Amino acid sequence: MVENTLRVSVIGLLLAFAFALSACGGPATNTAPANTKPAVETKPSKATFLAVGDIMLSRGVARLIDREGELAPFNSMADVFRSTDFNFGNFETPVSGNDTRVGKGLVFNTRKKDVEGLVKYNFKIVGLANNHALDQGEAGLRHTMAFLPGKGIEYVGVGETPEEAWKGKIITANGIKIGFIAASYSSYNDNGSRRNPFVARIEDVELMRNSIQRLRDEGCQFVVATMHAGIEYTRRPHQPQIDFARAAIDNGADIVIGGHPHWIQTTEVYRGKYIFYSLGNFIFDQRKPDTMEGLMLKVTVAHDGGVNVEKTARLDRVELMPVIVERFGAPRSATPAESAAILRKIGINDPVISPK
């Protein structure tokens, strides 16, 4: 009985399908010209996100958390985090799952509970392509890749294969699809000498090109290329950073944002697109003066709307917001005087960029 009923309904479905096919695929009986597309109206929209520098929830930051709680590294910036649609940062520590480790020397680990600040303050996506991705081995990286999405945090820059590591992810905010990719100068903390399949590398231009193309094919309207590269404690980018950033723009990225040098670095406009070579530290426990300053970007992306308009969105505004890292891991907004002094170091007078 059950079988018969099933057969009858399958036949019914097939007939309905055949009818639907003939209705739209048969000889044209409607009067509209075949090549007229229906008018699609898009409403104007804007989306805003923060991009912050390096976040290291380990070592001295773990001690800060032990003293003041999981949210201590984030709390001073709560209002700023809440002023956007979502936030992005480079997350420089694996979450290995082994919470007895708090990171020591140059081998980092984040305890599972210590990601609460990222969750609470709307970090919907993080970059994991950095020189500490494998600090807790392959098992540590795999745990990180399984754990973060479970907390509502997407990641870019790592995977089981180079293609997977290069796969971009899209965050949709107010109807605008913003894609992210991430790549690093190094796969381990060894200055880039050994490679592994897990970390996207800045020299993989071909993979980057495919990745951006795939994002566009998926309807992505604005591409953010992020990189972890540069020489530590320097103010200007070196050639591999410049090569990556320009190649990203040549291949369709709309903005390039970097980190790793622990200092903020100069910016560049290339073919009308902005490159921020290094945002410096954001949550980090270093103690030398310039490492206790960072740059946060408040990025606004706009789609102007209209009828049958192109799908791409544009950069509407970038606000450069310097931060001061206190208590070895708790950034706060810099005062106007501090901001001006920090921005002067990279030759910037006006903290607001509004491209034409």
**Contact positions vs Zn ion (CB under 5 A):** 130-131, 260
Q: At what angle do helices 205-217 and 239-250 cross, to 10 degrees?
A: 30
| Nearest distance in Å: CB 241, Zn ion | 13
| Strands lying side by side in the sheet with 176-184 | 169-173, 176-184, 222-228, 255-259, 273-276, 267-270
Using the minimum distance from each CB to Zn ion, give the nearer residue, 203 or 304: 203
| Nearest distance in Å: CB 261, Zn ion | 8
What span, in angstroms and rounded, lies between the C-alpha atoms of 286 and 331? 12
| Nearest distance in Å: CB 228, Zn ion | 6
Residue with the two structure tokens 């945002």: 279
Using the minimum distance from each CB to Zn ion, give the nearer residue, 16 or 106: 106
| Nearest distance in Å: CB 278, Zn ion | 10
| Nearest distance in Å: CB 165, Zn ion | 16
Using the minimum distance from each CB to Zn ion, give the nearer residue, 124 or 132: 132
Residue 133, token pair as written in the block: 């991705």
CB 64 within 8 A of CB 103: no
What are the residues whose beta carbons fall under 8 Å from the beta carbon of 99, sequence distance 6 or more?
A: 111, 112, 113
CB 167 within 8 A of CB 214: yes
| Nearest distance in Å: CB 185, Zn ion | 9
Amino acid (1-letter code) at residue 188: Y
| Nearest distance in Å: CB 124, Zn ion | 22
Using the minimum distance from each CB to Zn ion, give the nearer residue, 287 or 344: 287
What span, in angstroms and rounded, lies between the C-alpha atoms of 350 and 241? 24
| Nearest distance in Å: CB 347, Zn ion | 24
Q: Which of 162, 197, 196, 160 is nearest to 181 (CA)?
A: 162
Using the minimum distance from each CB to Zn ion, give the nearer residue, 145 or 227: 227
CB 233 within 8 A of CB 262: yes
Using the minimum distance from each CB to Zn ion, give the nearer residue, 84 or 278: 278
What span, in angstroms and rounded, lies between the C-alpha atoms of 293 and 323? 6
Using the minimum distance from each CB to Zn ion, give the nearer residue, 73 or 261: 261
Using the minimum distance from each CB to Zn ion, give the nearer residue, 130 or 286: 130
Using the minimum distance from each CB to Zn ion, give the nearer residue, 215 or 256: 256
Question: Cβ-closest residue to Zn ion?
Answer: 260
| Nearest distance in Å: CB 13, Zn ion | 56
| Nearest distance in Å: CB 130, Zn ion | 5
Using the minimum distance from each CB to Zn ion, give the nearer residue, 110 or 339: 110
Q: Which of 258, 247, 259, 182 is nearest to 215 (CA)?
A: 182
- E strands, the chain, are 41-42, 45-55, 86-91, 123-127, 154-156, 169-173, 176-184, 222-228, 255-259, 267-270, 273-276, 281-283, 293-303, 306-307, 314-326, 330-333, 352-353
Query: Sign of torsion, CA 129 132 137 142?
Result: negative
